[in-house]
Amino acid sequence: MSCIRRLPHALVNQIAAGEVIARPAAVVKELVENALDAGATCIDVTLEEGGKSAIIVQDNGVGMNHEDLTLCVERHTTSKLKDLTRIPTFGFRGEALAALGSVCRMTLTSCLQNASQASRLSVEGGKSSPLEPAPRRQGTCVEVQDLFFATPARLKFLKSTATERAHCEGVFKRLALAHPAIAFRLFEGTRTVLSYKPGEQVARITEVLGNVPQEDLLPIDATEGAWHLSGVLGRPTITQATTEKQFFFANGRAIQDPNCQGALRFAFQELIARHRYPVAVLFLTLPLEEVDVNVHPAKTEVRFQNPRRLRSFLIWALAQTLQQTPMEKGAEGPRLVPLQKVLGVSQTRTTSARERPPRTSSPCLAETQSAFQLPSTPVEPVLSSPSWEAEKLALFEEGAPCPLGHAKGQIRKRYILAETEDALVIVDQHAAHERIIYERTKEEFAQGGVAQQALLLPVTLSFDEDVLELFAEQQTEFFRLGLSYVISNTSSLIVEALPTFLRGADPRSLMQDLAEELQAWGKGFVLSEKFHEVFATLSCHTSIRSGRTLSLNEMESLLRTLEKTVHAGQCNHGRPTYLRIPFAACDKFFAR
């Protein structure tokens, strides 16, 4: 008994539509890509109800003749594909228009460059009506109405107008970022929502990112053989709560790729707080045959031939960009903002976000500060009182360049004021110290062992057996990190020494916190891979607080050490470590 039969064409198209055009944003993508493939220089997108009731894409590309116009809504008819291993156009599968036509009411109007008249074709639920003449307007206009009216099951999956609109905007921005030379406009009904003029890539990036100050964007330009990465990376001080400002492209195609996301996360892991996301617009260019775009009908997922190489190339390129600290580049730290602007006194027309005072967007700010400001009362006496560890800080070398200037004094036991030849520098001593200790500990850890200090009286702590097992497993690694303990029996552990930078910390609460982390990670993790997390846990117990009076010498050596430290511009939670105010800006402000 056989029930197998061939599906009718209309049904096949509707099924395909499920993959190619899951929602209005996907329609926007397909239609704009067609316009790009047609060589348009100006593309207008109009949405109604977030694209749910209408999507209109108008271009000034090459247009279609009568025959093309009738053919283009048939499945697998395309003018573009020649070689499936090297795909230079956006479209190639020849199914978007056919699929679309089967699930909505669609009208295509197109005019060849020198034709005297345009033609119009209407399709409804997969059925085309005969061509009609239409008024001439160069290029093509595709109107999609009542998406999914023919497939009510899919209609139900559409989200609110606001959500669909946001998705459409996201797609629109990605397309605009990849094609800075093309003018893009987005309308909602008759209202202009976004309008991007043709121009250079940097200008387009700044336009699309919106309220991100240009000076917080680090340009990327890295090449390795035929691979190239360009774009911008936001400084670690301007992280976001979502990944909305992360854009990845491979050969000009917007992609969603776990390798790229992973590399970005990795490059930033020691620079920003957890649950914060860096700003990044990354354009990867590589030989066409090294990336397969024919993996998913929507083509946002791609397959890289060599994902390992991709990851290492990205991490290398990103780390290089990030290591150019503002000091090395001679650039400014966060900008000086005239007081009137902060107070809103002279605000005119647009308070472009670019003019707003710099925000520290790290949510950890309060959290970290309070963690460090709490006086940590050592339970056991330690060998020496908490100190600034000045002995380990760099010595001041006469005549050496000092980008952070010379210390003039301290304010609120929190900030160091320093003077360079041309600027006033304010250093957050706590954030600076945190970065210094982090980098130093990491290096010492990698090179064999972090300096430790024995507790005068070892501390005995009780833990469950499974926790003790985890501590036992990591004993040598923790020792390398300066934390020394022995397991005394099945229920207790004796802490004998702490890393020097934790002098004065309470071993009980420290071990308790570590025990929680260990339980979360379970057996067999590699400490060096969790270094950032472990350090974050340890550093919450450091006795070094912002409220400490420093001598001029101590301040001076802190500044010199910071200058020699990588990623000196921010602490490991992403807070800036210093602010540089050029005297020229002061003079301008005081009208001198």
| 96 near ligand ADP, rule: CB under 6 A | yes
Cβ distance to Mg ion smaller for residue 91 or 297: 91
Residue with the closest Cβ to ligand ADP? 91
- Which residues, including other chains, have CB under 8 Å from residue 403's CB and lie 6 or more apart? 327, 330, 420, 563
Q: Which does 554 bind (CB under 5 to 8 A by kind): ligand ADP, Mg ion, none?
A: none
Q: How far is the CB of 136 from Mg ion (least distance, A)?
A: 24
| 297 near ligand ADP, rule: CB under 6 A | no
Cβ distance to ligand ADP smaller for residue 56 or 271: 56
Alpha helices in 92-212 (DSSP H): 96-103, 152-155, 161-178, 201-209
Cβ distance to Mg ion smaller for residue 91 or 234: 91
Cβ distance to Mg ion smaller for residue 91 or 213: 91
Q: How far is the CB of 91 from Mg ion (least distance, A)?
A: 3
CA-nearest of 129, 128, 137 to 109 is 137
Cβ distance to ligand ADP smaller for residue 86 or 592: 86
390: tokens are 């000045």
Q: Per-residue string for binding with ligand ADP, 101-140, x by CB under 6 A?
A: ---------------------------------------x
Residues that bind Mg ion (CB under 5 A): 34, 91, 96
Q: Which does 80 bind (CB under 5 to 8 A by kind): ligand ADP, Mg ion, none?
A: ligand ADP
Instruction: Indicate which single residue of 28, 92, 102, 560 sits in contact with ligand ADP (rule: CB under 6 A).
Output: 92
Q: How far is the CB of 155 from Mg ion (least distance, A)?
A: 23
45: tokens are 């997108």
At 405, the amino acid letter reads G
Task: Pick out residues in 24-83 that bind ligand ADP (CB under 6 A).
Answer: 30, 34-35, 38, 59, 61-64, 68, 72, 78-80
Partner residues linked to 247 by β-bridges: 281
| 325 near ligand ADP, rule: CB under 6 A | no
Q: Which does 64 bind (CB under 5 to 8 A by kind): Mg ion, ligand ADP, none?
A: ligand ADP
Q: How far is the CB of 371 from ligand ADP (least distance, A)?
A: 55
Residue pointed to by tokens 């024919």 = 294
- Which residues, including other chains, have CB under 8 Å from residue 245's CB and lie 6 or more apart? 209, 212, 234, 277, 279, 280
Q: Which does 360 bind (CB under 5 to 8 A by kind): Mg ion, ligand ADP, none?
A: none
- Beta pairing class for 227-234 and 423-428: unpaired
Partner residues linked to 434 by β-bridges: none
The CA-to-CA distance between both ends of the chain, in Å, stands at 96
Q: How far is the CB of 170 from Mg ion (least distance, A)?
A: 19
CA-nearest of 89, 112, 88 to 34 is 89
Instruction: Indicate which single residue of 97, 205, 220, 437 sits in contact with ligand ADP (rule: CB under 6 A).
Output: 97
Query: Would you say 263 and 314 are in contact if contact means Cβ atoms under 8 Å apart?
Result: yes
Total of residues contacting ligand ADP (CB under 6 A): 23
403: tokens are 């980008």
Give the whole-angstrom CA distance, residue 439 versus residue 451: 14
Q: Which does 143 bind (CB under 5 to 8 A by kind): Mg ion, ligand ADP, none?
A: none
- The piece of 94-102, 148-156, 355-363, 435-443 that touches ligand ADP (CB under 6 A) is 94-102
- Which residues, including other chains, have CB under 8 Å from residue 43's CB and lie 6 or more apart? 32, 35, 36, 57, 58, 59, 182, 183, 184, 185
User: Which of the 8 DSSP states describes residue 592?
Assistant: -
Query: Would you say 9 and 126 are in contact if contact means Cβ atoms under 8 Å apart?
Result: yes
Q: How far is the CB of 99 from Mg ion (least distance, A)?
A: 10
- Which residues, including other chains, have CB under 8 Å from residue 384's CB and lie 6 or more apart? 503
Name the site residues for ligand ADP (rule: CB under 6 A). Answer: 30, 34-35, 38, 59, 61-64, 68, 72, 78-80, 91-98, 140
